[in-house]
Each structure stands twice: as structure tokens, then as C-alpha cells.
A and B are shown apart, each in its own frame.
Chain A
């Protein structure tokens, strides 16, 4: 059960070599920009093709270079939230959300859409266009659209990086709620250590195209595997900050 990947790709002088496995948890891919985190996500959804390896989701093989299996993005049951959200500017909020409900009957689509709109508190904005709604609302539309068909996993590529703090915190809370209501693997990419700490059940640390540590936040923060991880995580001062600013934090030795 869960999401398992073992992929590598070489492009433009950069080499990605990633292997990890997660269950129904919120895993954060953490590291500097350009470390290969977004690239990994794109390969998981099928927007880009690894040179070789395997990708499996809940016992279903999505990609296997040895057996020549490479499912199209639409054949893989993922919810995906882009960094710039990619809301369709020519469609209303309702139409954007319903666009994700491909394959359902008309009544089912309406039912699911209404459910999502309710859940994500978008009632009243249904007929508005993306250019007419707030940043927070846009985030929620993107999430509703990605989740309407109850995908088997949810992938988010630094969706909150452009938001200012209050909204960011609000969205992080929302994501935690989603985590509770949708028991699926969630992969979240960020380069922000506080965000990683706040959201993750598991942190997967990336540097220069490879995974250098994978573990719970406590493990990663208190026992960095290499000096690199240590620098990234900047344990001592950063963690103290985290303890001081976030409400519910585990006590550290």
C-alpha cells in the first residue's frame, strides 16, 4: 500500500536518483530549489518520463522501464496542485472544479462538486472567475479540483510558497484537515523548513538530485544523517524558532 518510487533521470547535466516509499501519510520532499523535488513529482504524475525505474501506487504499476509500462497522466489516479495553481482563467470556479470530475455521470458530478464547494467553503464564489477571487480562494479551488474525483494520492508542488504568512498558515491547517479526511498518500514539496516541520509525517530530504535522508521530522531534525542535512535543517537555531512560534510541537530532548 502507498506510493513507491525508484527512478533516475539524466538531463541537462543534472542527474536525479530518487528512491523512497510512503504509506497513507503526508510526506514532505524537502531541500533547496533545483534539488530535484519538482522533477520527481512530474515523473510521478507522468508529465515527464524517467530514464529507468519503477513507480507504483497501491499495488498498481504506473511506470516500469523494464516491462515497458508507462501510463499516461490521465490513467494515473493523482490529484496534482501546481505551484502557480494553473486554474483555468476562462472557466468559473464551478467549471474549474467540475473539470476534475471527468468520467462521472452528470448528477454524480454535480453532487461531488457541491460537496467540494461546501468542504472548501467556496459557496458564493461558484460563478466567479479566478481573476475575481482572493489568493486563498484560488488555493481552495485548486485543491477542490484536484480532489473531486477522490484520487489515490495527492501531489502538491510548493503551492503555498507565494503566499504571505497568515494565509500560508491557514492553508497549512487546511492541508492537515485534508490529510484527516482523505486517507491517501500526500506528497508535498517545499524548501521551507518551518513548513516541512509543520506538515510532515515524514520528511524526505533532497540534495543535488538524490535523497540523503528519509524519516520522521524528529529523526531528521535531531539526527541529521549528513552535514548537508544539518545545514539544510539548521537544527539548533531554527528548531528553537519553531518551538517558539508553532502551537503544537513535540518536545525535544
Chain B
């Protein structure tokens, strides 16, 4: 019994965090690029919206996610009407929660990294006949690598540790949505000290291992 929960929740946590991080990288890098290199109406507002999940408590973020994606939510109700499916209480909701709370970390670090790229290099690329897209890919991104990698590591770590918003929209359903933080919460709450202790130790070791690998990799890439 205990092994089932441990293995399942560990696997789920890694899966959710990995997928959320992929989305965070795609959306986060695009947003960071837009915010650092473009001017458009509503830019300030977008910046604030993207940073909010960083300053709001996860439960507030979770509440907003319910308002938007719950079965009766702003978007959720249309999805339910078309497909008969709701994201609530599924592991996809856990991915969504992790994505939302980790996104600001990526946007902030990537933006700083992109802004630190020497403008002359970007201008040089344009004069050498290249498009904005090509320049972003071949000049800006490689030179902003450090910040982007830091952002990715932070995002993954945040996603792994997500609890509050996840509990609210994915629920704590054993065998389906109980990521490790949720499983530990259940075990501790129902007095199952031994299971909680085992999970806590495993989670700490895995996190430590992740940091070790991340450090090694970033040193190799940089």
C-alpha cells in the first residue's frame, strides 16, 4: 500500500513538473522576448498579470483557476459544453497549476537575460541580412542562455513543490492526482507518520539529486 502511493506520487510529481516546465519554457521565453524587445498597448498590464502568481498566495491563484477553468468557469463551461470534459480533478489540472505558478519565474529571469544582450550584436545581425526570428534564435537566445537555464531550473523546482493551487483544482485523489506534496500532506494529516517520513526523505533526496544534475549540466552548457 505504502509503496503504491510513494511510487505513484513520485512518478506523478516528476511527470507533472516536467510537462509544466516544457510549457513554461515555450510560453515564458516568448513572453520574455515580447516584454523585453517590443512595445505595445497593454504591455505593463501583461507584465503585471504574468508576475501576479509570484506574489499571490497559491490558494488565491488556485481560486482564480477554478473561476476560469472549473466546470462552471469562464472557459471551463464552454469546454464542458463542447466536449463533456472538465479539467478539474485530473492530473492535467496539476500541470496547469504548476505551469501558472512557475511561469513568472521563467519570465523574470529570461527577460533579464535577454535584456542584457548587447544591442549592437542584434543590430549587427539585422545588417547582415537576418530576420528578427533568426536573430532571436541564433544571437539572443544563445547569449541569454545562463538566465534561461536558471529560469528553467527554478521553474521545475517550483513545479515539483506546488501544493496550494494544485490541491484546489486537481484535488487530492490517490492514484490519480496526488502529487508528492499532496500525498505527504495526506499521510501527515491522517497520522500516518511512517509513510510521511519515507516520502519526505525520498522527496528531499530526489530534489537534492535534481539540483546536483542541474548544476552539472549548466556548467557543461555554459
Direct contact of A and B (CB under 8 A): yes
Contact across chains for A102 and B124 when beta carbons are under 8 A apart: no
Q: A90 — which chain B residues lie within 8 A by C-beta?
A: 142-143
B90: min CB distance to chain A, Å: 42
In the bound assembly, the distance between CA atoms of A232 and B120 in angstroms comes to 29
B interface bracket (residues with beta carbon within 8 Å of A): 10 to 19
Contact across chains for A145 and B128 when beta carbons are under 8 A apart: yes
A166 CB-CB contact with B under 8 Å: no
B121 CB-CB contact with A under 8 Å: yes
Contact across chains for B120 and A82 when beta carbons are under 8 A apart: yes
Q: B143 — which chain A residues lie within 8 A by C-beta?
A: 89-90
A161: min CB distance to chain B, Å: 15
Contact across chains for B129 and A47 when beta carbons are under 8 A apart: no
In the bound assembly, the distance between CA atoms of A145 and B120 in angstroms comes to 15
Comparing A24-32, A71-79, A217-225, the segment that makes contact with chain B is A71-79
Q: B139 — which chain A residues lie within 8 A by C-beta?
A: 88
In the bound assembly, the distance between CA atoms of A227 and B130 in angstroms comes to 44
Contact across chains for A74 and B123 when beta carbons are under 8 A apart: no
Partner of A82, one of B124, B129, B134: B124
In the bound assembly, the distance between CA atoms of A103 and B123 in angstroms comes to 18
Enumerate B105-132 residues with CB–CB distance to A below 8 Å: 118, 120-121, 123-131
Main secondary structure of the interface of B (DSSP, over half): helix
B138: min CB distance to chain A, Å: 8
Contact across chains for A102 and B121 when beta carbons are under 8 A apart: no
A182 CB-CB contact with B under 8 Å: no
Contact across chains for B126 and A74 when beta carbons are under 8 A apart: yes
B119: min CB distance to chain A, Å: 9
A129 CB-CB contact with B under 8 Å: no
Partner of B129, one of A84, A88, A102: A102
Given known A-B contacts A88-B139, A90-B143, A103 and B120 have beta carbons under 8 A apart: no
Partner of B120, one of A72, A78, A79, A86: A86
A214 CB-CB contact with B under 8 Å: no
Partner of B126, one of A73, A79, A103: A73
Encoded as 1 (CB less than 8 Å from any B CB) or 0, chain A from 63 to 94 comes to 00000000011100011101010101110000
**In the complex, which of the residues A86, A145, A149 has the most CB atoms of chain B within 10 Å of its own CB atom?**
A86
Given known A-B contacts A88-B139, A89-B143, A47 and B123 have beta carbons under 8 A apart: yes
B38: min CB distance to chain A, Å: 16
Contact across chains for B126 and A72 when beta carbons are under 8 A apart: yes
Contact across chains for B123 and A86 when beta carbons are under 8 A apart: yes
A20: min CB distance to chain B, Å: 21
A120 CB-CB contact with B under 8 Å: no
A54 CB-CB contact with B under 8 Å: no
Q: A102 — which chain B residues lie within 8 A by C-beta?
A: 128-130, 134
In the bound assembly, the distance between CA atoms of A145 and B123 in angstroms comes to 14
In the bound assembly, the distance between CA atoms of A74 and B121 in angstroms comes to 14
Q: A209 — which chain B residues lie within 8 A by C-beta?
A: none
- Nearest chain B residue, comparing its CB with the CB of A76: B127
Q: A100 — which chain B residues lie within 8 A by C-beta?
A: 128-129
Contact across chains for B128 and A99 when beta carbons are under 8 A apart: yes
A112 CB-CB contact with B under 8 Å: no
Contact across chains for A84 and B120 when beta carbons are under 8 A apart: yes
Q: A78 — which chain B residues lie within 8 A by C-beta?
A: 127
Encoded as 1 (CB less than 8 Å from any B CB) or 0, chain A from 115 to 151 comes to 0000000000000000000000000000001100100
Given known A-B contacts A47-B123, A84-B120, A74 and B142 have beta carbons under 8 A apart: no
Contact across chains for B129 and A86 when beta carbons are under 8 A apart: no
Enumerate B82-124 residues with CB–CB distance to A below 8 Å: 118, 120-121, 123-124
Extra 6 A-B pairs, beta carbons < 8 Å, given A80-B124, A89-B143: A73-B126, A74-B127, A80-B127, A86-B120, A86-B124, A99-B130
Q: What are 20 contact pairs spanning A and B, CB under 8 A?
A: A47-B126, A74-B126, A74-B128, A74-B130, A80-B124, A80-B128, A82-B123, A86-B121, A86-B123, A86-B124, A88-B121, A88-B139, A99-B125, A99-B128, A99-B130, A99-B138, A102-B130, A102-B134, A145-B128, A149-B129
Binding site for B on A (CB under 8 A): 45-47, 72-74, 78-80, 82, 84, 86, 88-90, 99-100, 102-103, 145-146, 149
Kindly list the 3 A-B residue pairs having the minimum CB-CB distance in the complex, ordered from nearest: A86-B124, A80-B127, A73-B126
